[in-house]
Amino acid sequence: MLAYILRRLLYALPILVGVNLLTFVLFFVVNSPDDMARMQLGVKRVTPEAVEAWKRERGYHLPLLYNAEAEGLDRLTETIFFQKSVSLFAFEFGRSDAGSDIGYDIRQRMGPSLAVAVPVFVIGLAVNITFALLVVFFRATYVELWGMVLCVALMSISALFYIIAGQYLVGKVMRLVPISGFGEGLAAWKFVVLPVAVGVVSGIGSGVRWYRTLFLEELGKDYVRTARAKGLGEGAVLARHVLRNALIPILTGSVVLLPLLFMGSLILESFFGIPGLGSYTIDAINAQDFAIVRAMVFLGSVLYLVGLLLTDLSYTLVDPRVRLS
Amino acid sequence: MRPHPLPVLAALLLAGALAGCGTSGEPWNSPYPPGLAAEKVIFSAFAQRPKHLDPVRSYSSNEYTFIAQIYEPPLQYHYLLRPYRLVPLTAEALPEPRLLDARGRELPPGAPAEAVAWSVYEIRIRPGIRYAPHPAFARGPDGRYLYRGLSERDLEGVHTLADFPERGTRELVAADYVHQIKRLADPRLHSPIRGLMSEHIVGFAAFGRRLETLRREGQEPDLQALPLEGVEVTGRYSYRIRIRGKYPQFRYWLAMPFFAPMPPEAVAFYGQPGMAERNLTLDWYPVGTGPFMLVENNPNRRMVLERNPHFHEERYPAEGMPGDREAGLLADAGRRLPLVDRVIFSLEKESIPYWNKFLQGYYDASGISSDAFDQAVRVGPGGEVSLTEELRAKGVRLATAVAPSTYYMGFNMLDPVVGGLSERARKLRQAISIAVDYEEYIAIFANGRGIAAQGPIPPGIFGHREGRSGMNPYVYDWVEGRPRRKPIEEARRLLAEAGYPGGVDRTTGEPLTLHLDVTATGPDDKARLDWYRKQFRKLGIELVVRNTDYNRFQDKMRTGAAQIFLWGWNADYPDPENFLFLLYGPNGKVRHGGENAANYANPEFDRLFERMKAMEDGPERLALIDRMLAIARRDAPWVWGFHPKAFTLYHAWYRNARPHLMANNTLKYIRVEPEQRLAAQRAWNRPVLWPLGAGAALLLVVLFPAWRVYRRRLRTPFRDAA
Amino acid sequence: MPFQPVLLWTDALLFLLVGLVVLFAWQARRHEHLRAPWREVARRPLAMACAVVLGAYALIGLADSVHFRPALDQPGPQGERRYAPEVLSLLDLALAPLRRQSEKTYSAPFAVRLYVKETVHLPDGTVQRIRPRLRWGGAHLEDPARRWADVAARGGRGALWGLALWAAAGMVWLAWRARRWGCRWREALVRVAAGRTELPWRAMWLTGAVLLLLAGAVAALAPYYHVLGTDKVGQDVLYQSLKSVRTGLVIGTLTTLVMLPFAVLLGLAAGYFRGWVDDVVQYLYTTLNAIPGVLLIAAAVLMLQVYMANHPEAFPTATERADMRLLFLCLILGITSWTGLCRMLRGETLKLRELDYVQAAQAFGVGHGRILLRHLLPNLMHIVLISVVLDFSALVLAEAVLSYVGVGVDPSMHSWGNMINAARLEMAREPVVWWTLAAAFLFMFALVLAANLFADAVRDAFDPRLRGA
């Protein structure tokens, strides 16, 4: 078990290096260090010396990937890529190009992100499964037909519409919750209600359809017939047998998403002014803050790989027949 | 039948929520913690983290919003008097420069600029002013600084300035001002005005070079000990600045935060190892003598200014313009400032939520975006503006002012097609100047909140002329007592004379295609760019918009690769020199790295500028400016765009507000009435619940048949078709 | 020639795609095993009704993909013909009145006055703020109060024209059908009307009727009114919505076209050869998958902008710049979305290569290329097809989100994402400007809904695993 995890972690290393290299190349094609300096130094009255000094201060005066002037191994290490990448592996994100401490920012912003992402995930799961069960329960009636039509319709609406409509109706017309923003501690709940509701509703369409197919597949299995033969009612069959068995693929399938919840939701957060990691990322893209984008890409990749690992592990925990090989 | 537990639970929860909201007395949708709105607090917002709060670096208005309340330069602008007038802040009096000739003899005040070799400013500050509490000043019983010589270990667990429990203060002395000027000269601190001040302050550039030499030799120079030739401390409360030649605009700089005092203790405190890694820098936590201090700096959520307990005595001005007394602006005359305890800035990135929250009463003041204009403002038959019924019913007040800014469309004068002083290019530019209908632009995108520009100088600045004498005769005709844009036929004629009849190049036969370089991001930009294309199409010219990111755009401007661009300038100080220098040849962006983005260079204009620069306002200066404007209008290096009008809305409980477009330290004059605010918030934010009820009822109607199917199905076991 | 044809990159690829589809259809007609599942799809009334809607969209999109530069009136100095710099499409030609009739700023659907007040200097020297009459919308009306009666009359007439067109086409088609069925015209009509045909012709014709009714009414009204209002600079919203169709279709289809070769080639190779090839491919897609998609897209789009800024001569016209960006967006979306399909294909290939007939082929010494092409690929096509149709609607929706983030299509290009983006500001206005959002919503919703329903039918028909469920 431990050996397996270790091996998987080792396997993750080259992937992270690849991710780093790719983002690095992309960003430096876009942005020369000179550009970054000017962007950060402001609009009025910027001198070339100021640009040079800024680069030196932040270590952007080195060559990008290969230092021809250095000796031996230094040719590879005395470069922006090496200097800026190695610290990432120790989760030291350093300072953003604008000068703030990225690690501190990320820690600060994780809370708000989770405050939205976790309820969306949990409530969404519960709501989708409930509706899917209901649809399956009513199969071959008009309830199923219209339920599925509704699902396709919901699915065909862009998430942006849900957000705009939700903000307009609930925030502006009905005045139930603050339009946007965030609060300290538990007081944040009223800021979170609307984004969570919008997040859940926008996921219902595809979610219900997906779980419905899972349940239908389960329904075709032998043990269901056995249960019916015992004289169990339809409700009991669904709740006790189908749901319980289908939960295994549902849960193992969801595990991969868990770590990524930390990354927050890009659009929800920026629409509702939630100071989480999603809006952090969008702001960084708009400001072309390479240090933050790189840190977020790295973090996202790490969390994705952790998710993969967790999925594998959860399979073995749920189903002893699966061997880790 | 036994009641189902779920609906009962839901009903209980709802009742509890209602009860909870009822008792606290604050609306459901209040974005603030309970009780806050009842305090003497101003609620405002910021759109993005101010990058630099260090007065050496700070140069943009979103930074000044904060630091102008915290740092105090020697001078300030009078809050109520117009035109803008300087008055002492920490200084005893307005400094009058002593003019000296090359041999050090004193000259009379009106001496011609050619004769003046030096101007000497002697500034005396008032004694007894103290800094706001800050850990950098904290001393133990033995008189030694508590937080000095800290190691990395001592800083563990420290994240914000609030984690240092002890505070101290100290009296403001003249040496702090001199210290700051030396910091301005320090190349390592990248002050944006370092280049400019090197031309004016004696020994400024040499001081910077000296610092660099010392650093190259491995020493860390002591700014206080190292002398700067033109700036010296002459007493505990006085210092002297020596300027090269005559530079009357210098006193305006003395009202900007660049020249605020900086205690050496703060620099030593923040300079300790480990501080910068924790964002403990002057860019995050300012140290000043002003009416407020920054107690919370969380750029992800909010920033909080709190009253400085040591703030020196400053009183609300007793003198105003006619009408100010009637408007209630002098009601607080003579009261001690500041008039509120706290200012809370919440992060609000977008204008839409800001506007909605303003209407709900959660922000005290707001501008008006063009999309909200008709909701807010009515224009009467005489062109006068007033608020709509809706806003007047809320007790909102409106203030308007023409901003000392100019937005324009510039031609790159180095471009082979549109640039240069040849007759052909000049006529092309004049034709375009007529075609781009900025009156329409102002109507569509600013709801008429702006004045089409006749030249670079906005109203309210010396040199701007109203009426026929201030009209640009190359674009406008004087018709019925007001300037009217020349007909498009005139532009087409000019275009034909320039060699492009109907927008087609006479020599090559190719249609004329021009390029507009912009950085567009928002949805509103698309509409704007469409509009610009429409203007050029009137002449048959195809305008290609080259949209790039901000960096590339700057790059193009610097290398001269841009052709036509949109640009703007906000005045540093109310003097025509600050606008005309944007057209001064030796200030060219490409050749000299200056602020003349169009790279316009006309020798005659430059000669006149050099003479005008150092003059005192008067008829002679006005005549020079008129001549300069005539040259620039003929050459048309810019399509003189427009000067925006600032419209600001204030809620009824927000008192003493008066737009001041040069000063930023105005929060100290503001008073709020919390009870009035709370009552209004309650009245405006009654939740609308019937849609919820209606939705639930609809759901029940839909679900009823389903429930019947459910009952049936529970009774009979289901058989799958298979 | 009165015009000069212009072939944009996306046009070329779009027509290539159409060619491929036609080729595939021709191929499928000749092979029963390829035809069978399609017949399954074609038997479903809902799926075929959706197909008609999709066909209408495709027609609009294709008409908007034939580009040209019209000739100018004045000849050049040597008397040669010269062409206007702006690039138009067939759709622009058809919608010429909509394109030209722009107002000053916002106006509501069917409005005769501007939506916002404007400061007007009256001849007597006073200034008033009024809502002036529109330049085009309802300009033919003497009395604006009679507007709704006029709208009803014109709309009704247009709808009747649409109906007449539908009836005429229907009769011709019925006559042809009757000949093929070998029955009389009336019998054929009864058969279709009663739904007793193999293909659901009734559903298709009914959908067609609805579409033509709408199109007829709108075509009759559009020259006189702004049916869906105008936007901030007075452009017709209906025109924008129709122009956005092409953008949506291009993103939805070309992205797939771009990614298919990668996904199929790498997926097949990884599953078939295993070993180091498999390792490399897996490494590649895990790495790409690990990067949050939006960040990758943002970086790539920024990169393109830089390239364009540095090489302005390569993109002389605004249309070409916008087109290049669109193509690039497809490319980068393809790069981020091929991994899922690739992984599925790899898994399926791993299974298939163990089957007897593949083993047998290997034993007979058949070459790798031949095995991959003749034995494995055909058996994987259903996976490819299902993922292509399922991806389509997701991509159309993704475009809107990306445009919101600011890394979508060029801001000067008409797209639903850009429309929604603009609508965000409009929803905050008082009174609300709702029509841009509503128009984008309607057009997008109809397309995505039709695509989703059609995709469901395709999946059911092609995926044997789901057939029972």
Using CA coordinates, name the residue in chain C closest to A171: C428
**Does residue B380 belong to the interface with chain C, where contact is any CB pair within 8 Å?**
yes
Q: Residue B195, SS3?
A: helix
* Residue B68 confidence (pLDDT) above 60: yes
pLDDT at B9: 44
For B649, the token pair is: 């809305």
Class of domain A102-318: mainly alpha
Which of C319, C418, C429, C432 to mutate to probe the B interface, most B CBs <10 Å? C429
Of B355, B382, B527, the CB nearest to C232: B527
Residues of chain C with pLDDT under 50: 467-469
Residue range B698-719: average pLDDT? Answer: 75
CB C322 within 8 A of CB C412: yes
Scan residues 24-43 of A and list those with Cβ closer than 8 Å to C. 26-27, 29-31
**pLDDT band of A98, cuts 50, 70, 90:** low
- Least confident range of A226-230, B38-42, B417-421: A226-230
Which chains have 3+ CB pairs within 8 A of B? Answer: A, C
Burial grade of B522 (CB within 10 A; 0-12, 13-18, 19 or more): middle
pLDDT at B714: 67
Report CB contact under 8 Å: B283, A41. no
Of B187, B281, B714, the CB nearest to A235: B714
Using CA coordinates, name the residue in chain A closest to C286: A15
**Does residue A164 belong to the interface with chain C, where contact is any CB pair within 8 Å?**
yes
Residue range B105-122: average pLDDT? Answer: 88
**ipTM for this prediction:** 0.82
pLDDT at A319: 66
For B310, the token pair is: 């040591």
Only one residue has tokens 């004059």, namely B669
**Does residue A297 belong to the interface with chain C, where contact is any CB pair within 8 Å?**
yes
Give the minimum alpha-carbon distance from C46 to chain A in angstroms, rounded to a whole number: 11
Please name the helix (run of DSSP H) or strand (run of DSSP E) that holds residue A266, with its range, or none: helix A266-272
Give the minimum alpha-carbon distance from C273 to chain A in angstroms, rounded to a whole number: 20
| Chain C residues closer than 8 Å to B360 by CB | none
Using CA coordinates, name the residue in chain A closest to C425: A164
**Does residue B299 belong to the interface with chain A, where contact is any CB pair within 8 Å?**
yes
Question: Which CATH code fits C237-467?
Answer: 1.10.3720.10
Report CB contact under 8 Å: C232, B534. no
Residue range A244-266: average pLDDT? Answer: 79
Any residues with CB less than 8 A from the CB of C197 and at least 6 apart, and which? C191
**Does residue C65 belong to the interface with chain B, where contact is any CB pair within 8 Å?**
no
Report CB contact under 8 Å: A297, C295. yes
Residue range A189-207: average pLDDT? Answer: 90
Q: What is the DSSP letter of C130?
A: E
Scan residues 662-681 of B and list those with Cβ closer than 8 Å to A. none
pLDDT at A321: 61
pLDDT at C469: 37
Of B351, B448, B526, the CB nearest to C119: B448
Report CB contact under 8 Å: C283, A18. yes
Using CA coordinates, name the residue in chain A closest to C307: A30
Report CB contact under 8 Å: A140, B60. no
- Across chain B, what does the average pLDDT equal? 87
pLDDT at A119: 92
Indicate the pTM of the whole model.
Answer: 0.81
B369-405: pLDDT as tens digits: 766 777 777 766 556 677 888 888 889 988 888 888 8
B259-290: pLDDT as tens digits: 999 999 999 999 998 888 788 899 999 999 99
* Residue B121 confidence (pLDDT) above 80: yes
Q: pLDDT: is A224 or A185 the higher one?
A: A224
**pLDDT band of B2, cuts 50, 70, 90:** very low
Domain ranges of chain A: 2-90, 102-318
* Residue B447 confidence (pLDDT) above 80: no
Report CB contact under 8 Å: B190, A41. yes
Distance CA B51, CA B203 (A): 30
B133-161: pLDDT as tens digits: 999 999 989 989 999 888 888 888 888 88
Give the minimum alpha-carbon distance from A20 to chain B in angstroms, rounded to a whole number: 23
**What residues of C are in the A interface, CB distance below 8 Å?**
283, 286-287, 289-292, 294-296, 298-300, 302-303, 306, 393, 397, 400-401, 404-407, 416, 420, 423-424, 427, 437, 441, 444-445, 448-449, 452-453, 456, 466, 468-469
- Least confident range of A71-85, B330-344, B467-481: A71-85
Q: DSSP of C390-421, one letter per residue? A: HHHHHHHHHHHHHHHHT-SS-TTS--HHHHHH
Report CB contact under 8 Å: B444, C104. yes
Which of B62, B253, B551 to mutate to probe the A interface, most A CBs <10 Å? B551
For C46, the token pair is: 């809902």
* Residue B12 confidence (pLDDT) above 50: no
Q: What is the DSSP letter of B487?
A: P
pLDDT at B23: 41
Using CA coordinates, name the residue in chain B closest to A287: B550
Report CB contact under 8 Å: A175, B685. yes
Inter-chain Cβ pairs, chain A and chain B, closer than 8 A = 154
pLDDT at B261: 96
Which of C46, C282, C285, C291 to mutate to probe the A interface, most A CBs <10 Å? C291
CB B619 within 8 A of CB B667: no
Of B513, B530, B531, the CB nearest to C85: B513
Domain ranges of chain C: 237-467
Which chains have 3+ CB pairs within 8 A of A? Answer: B, C
pLDDT at A69: 73
Only one residue has tokens 């996306």, namely C10
Distance CA C7, CA A178 (A): 51
Q: Residue B116, SS3?
A: coil
The count of other CB atoms within 10 Å of the CB of residue C275 is 8
Closest CA to B278 of B164, B189, B156, B435: B156
Sorted by where each starts, the structural domains of chain B and their CATH numbers stand as 5-21+689-715 (no CATH), 72-271 (3.90.76.10), 405-646 (3.10.105.10)
pLDDT at C76: 62
Burial call B60-98: b when 16+ CB within 10 Å, e when fewer? beebbbbbbbbbbbbbbbbbbeeebebebbbbeeebebe
**Does residue B692 belong to the interface with chain A, where contact is any CB pair within 8 Å?**
yes
Give the minimum alpha-carbon distance from A248 to chain B in angstroms, rounded to a whole number: 24
